[in-house]
Structure 1
């Protein structure tokens, strides 16, 4: 029912546009002479061309919007791409059609084309640049509706938060740019839905000249993330640590476990490299892995609390020394 209503409404608008265009032309051709205003054949041809151009552009816009509304429920964001391509092709077809039957004199057409080209070329350079960039993006599929991408461009300022090195433990490489899902590729700009929920509209010229990181798997072999955690040396067994970490992270696709560096002489930082399964959210995987590792660290500290407090924190050593002496004497 809803789709039928969209079709009927679009057809009604197209018929109305056609009726208005025909009435304007014949009003100028028939009624104006009654008031003593006569138009030459060249003027009528020019008026006819202008009417067809504006009526055709309006009709194409109506048809494109109708296509978007018709397919939006089934194709979602891709409906915008289909509708915008229809608009571009339709407008180009209308312009070519008007140029093909126009009977303007060659001199007038040449003069008008030269002057119009100079004026429009200077005044509409950004508009035309974005328009043709949009056509190239759509035809070459530089990005597609539904893709998750990150835009790295100097024209769009992006700053990463400066964090102290002792707090910033993530070794993941962050591409400096905005990341989001392509919602619409329009004639002038492309709309991205950012992770924050906001919309980012990027002019097509900037998008086409930007570096794009595509997170939608096509030729990518795999996606990996790194998880780092700091462990006290006093509560772990270096020789058994890798085996214990693999047991803690059972069920994850572990690529490698590395001892990356030593911090404050009493801690060691391990890095776990995880492969993300196809279609899963890497944030959820990394969060769960880090949660398990932190729980493992707390369990190790609790099980060796006296040793940890003495050797790592430098407090309550009497209790640990007495316990150590008791163990030695009993053995």
Structure 2
């Protein structure tokens, strides 16, 4: 707000200075009074437009309550919890800890996903296993881990399938439902538990690798014994 106010004062002082300079130069300002007033009003209006837009957006947020403090929301790439709703801007604490200030105009007009308004949320897990691993065994282990978690919903039932043959791994995908307020925690814990079970069962999670084939055989000289 302070920066916007300073900018507005600068513009007003600039316009006043221009008119004073024109008067000193002998320009008849009476005939240009109407035009000058129009220009000044236009300049002031343009300077106030962002402030007024955010202000009225803030009033709409307060009246319609699309979000409340404490809600888990996603606005474009920002995912976090609403910690403050002001008249001109609102603040969201990202799940990584950073606090982001978002102008209310953007906050109100953008597509916001409010996870706290929904009872449950579906999320996906992508788990890669090596081509040497037993796919059926891996699917069985993943299913056991998911069904064992206390916050995974039994209805809708989790779905697990082989989704892709990647460059380095067979990708198994799982679609899981959890309470909307806990899905991030559930997703993190499932990935950790799956990794532990894979280690116990000898199921390999491969790292990126490349196999290089030479079109012509390489001629490697063996060392000559002295």
> TM-score, normalized by length of structure 2?
0.58
State whether structure 2 residue 158 is matched by structure 1 residue 260.
no
Q: Which residue of 1 aligns with 2:50?
A: 126
Bigger strand fraction: 2
- CA deviations over 1:136-192 (Å, ceiling 9, x no partner): 12112132222221222xxxxxxxxxxxxxxxxxxxxxxxx2122222222221122
Aligned length: 161
From 301, 308, 311, the equivalent of 2:202 is 301
With over 3 angstroms needed to count, the CA separation of the structure-2 counterparts of 1:292 and 1:201, relative to structure 1, is closer
- In structure 1, the partner of 2:191 is 290
The answer (yes or no) to whether the contact 2:119–2:180 under 8 Å persists in 1 is no
The match for 1:269 among 131, 146, 171 is: 171
Please say if 1:148 is aligned against 2:46.
Answer: no
- The counterpart of 1:191, out of the listed 64, 67, 91, is 91
Q: 1:243 to 1:137 in 2, by over 3 A?
A: same
SS at 2:158's partner residue?
strand
Report the equivalent of 1:247: 144
Unaligned runs of 5+ in 1: 1-113, 153-176, 305-312, 314-331
The 8 Å contact of residues 194 and 200 in structure 1, kept in 2 or not, is answered as: yes
What is the alpha-carbon distance in structure 2 between the residues aligned to residue 194 and residue 201 of structure 1? 11
Considering Cα pairs closer than 8 Å and 6+ residues apart, tell me whether 1 or 2 has the greater RCO: 2
Whole-angstrom distance in 2 between the partners of 1:290 and 1:194 = 21
Structure 2 CA distance for partners of 1:237 and 1:126, relative to 1, 3 Å: closer
Deviations 1:188-226 (A, max 9, x none): 211222223332222222222212111113xx3521222
Equivalent of 1:222 in 120, 124, 127 = 120
- Which has the larger share of helix? 1
- Quick check: 1:235–1:300 contact (8 Å CA) kept in 2? no
Distance 2:180 2:104 in 1: 30
For residues 292 and 181 of structure 1, what CA distance do their matches in structure 2 show?
26
In terms of Rg, which structure is larger?
Answer: 1
